[in-house]
Amino acid sequence: MDFPSLLIQLLNAVQYGLLLFLVASGLTLIFGIMGIINLAHGSFYMIGAYVAFVLASATGSLLMAIAIGVPLALALGWLLEWLVFSHLYRRDHLEQVLLTYGLILFFEEARSLLVGNDVHSVAIPELLRASIALTDTLSYPVYRLFISLVCLALALALYLLIRHTRLGMMIRAGSHDRDMVAALGININLVYRIVFALGVALAAFAGMIAAPVSTVYPGMGGHVLIISFVIVVIGGIGSVSGALVAALIIGFTDTFGKVIFPDYAGILVYVVMAAVLLWRPEGILRRG
């Protein structure tokens, strides 16, 4: 591998990792803070992509679709927490898995009835359609760089929210001791509802912003879900910064694995997960 392609592969790795972070961050929040194993998280990614497709076709603009879609996703999360997930906190993980697996089937069926089973594509916004020539044979689409920047900005915003706001403090406290926080007069149910809606919106937003580069197709949430769980486990359950580190590790492993050990690319990610778990069973950044 020559030096320019090494640099470009680094860029690929970071860009892929950041996008994975966007999905995994919501999952780790819901899993770590609310203690819920949410298999339907990949469906929210899928829903986001389809919402982007439908709204972008209707309005003619992806940015407009995102502007309408994100509040819709927040509302969906809010509603789901109220109707479904709020009944799950005191139940064991098996019942959570059953219910959220049922939700996957439900969302896939709804998608099939409403939009059909075809593969769709979403146009990249006019402003970001250019490519930057890197070598004489390779150029890099501006839109992919844009995705990375947006993901970085969101990562920073999440960090500030959780570490430096009153809501963030309640979220962190709630993850340690739900009952004590409630005893202090904080409406913990409301905090959970906000966290859940936020998690859903993050996954759906990832689906929306990735739609132009990933295309929109049935079952697209499945692969993302599995890799997101890997990231959550590596990063430490509930740790957003852990998820960022883990997502970047997975991005690097996947990208360079494909190039250097193509025969083992499929399992390499899981080998890394096993290694991390042997080294730090609690995940890289999990605090006691």
Of the candidates 54, 84, 125, 141, which one interacts with another protein according to CB under 8 A?
A: 141
Check residue 265 for interaction with another protein (CB under 8 A).
yes
Establish if 262 lies at the interface with another protein (CB under 8 A): yes
Q: Is 207 an interacting residue with respect to another protein (CB under 8 A)?
A: no
Quick one: angle between helices 62-83 and 41-59, nearest 10? 140
Segment interacting with another protein, rule: CB under 8 A, options 127-135, 159-167, 178-186, 233-241: 127-135
Q: Is 187 in the site for another protein (CB under 8 A)?
A: no
Quote the CA–CA distance of 101 and 39 in Å, as a whole number.
6
The burial of 82, by beta-carbon neighbours within 10 Å (0-12 exposed, 13-18 middle, 19 or more buried), is given as middle
At position 19, the amino acid (one-letter code) is L
Q: Per-residue x/- mask for another protein, residues 215 to 254, rule CB under 8 A?
A: x-xxxxxxx-xx---------------------------x
User: Is residue 4 at the binding interface for another protein, with CB under 8 A as the rule?
Assistant: yes
Nearer to another protein, 67 or 270 (CB): 270
Which tokens hold the place of 259?
Answer: 């190039």
Amino acid 26 reads G
Cβ 56 to another protein shortest distance, Å: 13
Residue in the block written with tokens 């994975």 = 20
CB of 40 to another protein, least distance (A): 9
To another protein, the closest distance from the beta carbon of 35 in angstroms equals 21
Tell which one of 139, 157, 183, 275 touches another protein (CB under 8 A): 139
The answer to the question of residue 121 lying near another protein (CB under 8 A) is: yes
Residue 108 binds another protein (CB under 8 A):
yes
How many Å apart are CA 145 and CA 132, to the nearest integer? 10
Place of tokens 């359950």: 237
Confirm if 133 and 229 have CB atoms less than 8 A apart.
Answer: no
| CA 133 to chain centroid | 30
Rounded alpha-carbon distances, angstroms, from residue 204 to 48, 76, 92: 4, 10, 26
Q: Are 203 and 214 in contact (CB under 8 A)?
A: no
CB of 100 to another protein, least distance (A): 10
User: Judged by CB under 8 A, how many residues of this single chain contact another protein?
Assistant: 56
Separation of alpha carbons 148 and 9, rounded Å: 14
Tokens of 28: 């780790």
**Stretch of 25-33, 141-149, 157-165, 187-195 contacting another protein, by CB under 8 A:** 141-149
Which of 133, 278 has the CB closer to another protein? Answer: 133
Q: Among 27, 39, 147, 249, which residue interacts with another protein (rule: CB under 8 A)?
A: 39
Q: What are phi and psi for residue 189, nearest 5 degrees?
A: -60, -40
Report in angstroms how near the CB of residue 6 gets to another protein at its nearest.
9
Measure the CA–CA gap between 65 and 51, rounded to whole angstroms. 8
Q: Whole-angstrom Cα distance, residue 104 to residue 39?
A: 7
- Residues within the interface to another protein (CB under 8 A): 1-2, 4-5, 8-9, 12-13, 15-16, 39, 42, 101, 104-105, 108-109, 111-113, 117-121, 131, 133, 135, 137-141, 143-144, 213-215, 217-223, 225-226, 254-256, 258-259, 262-263, 265-266
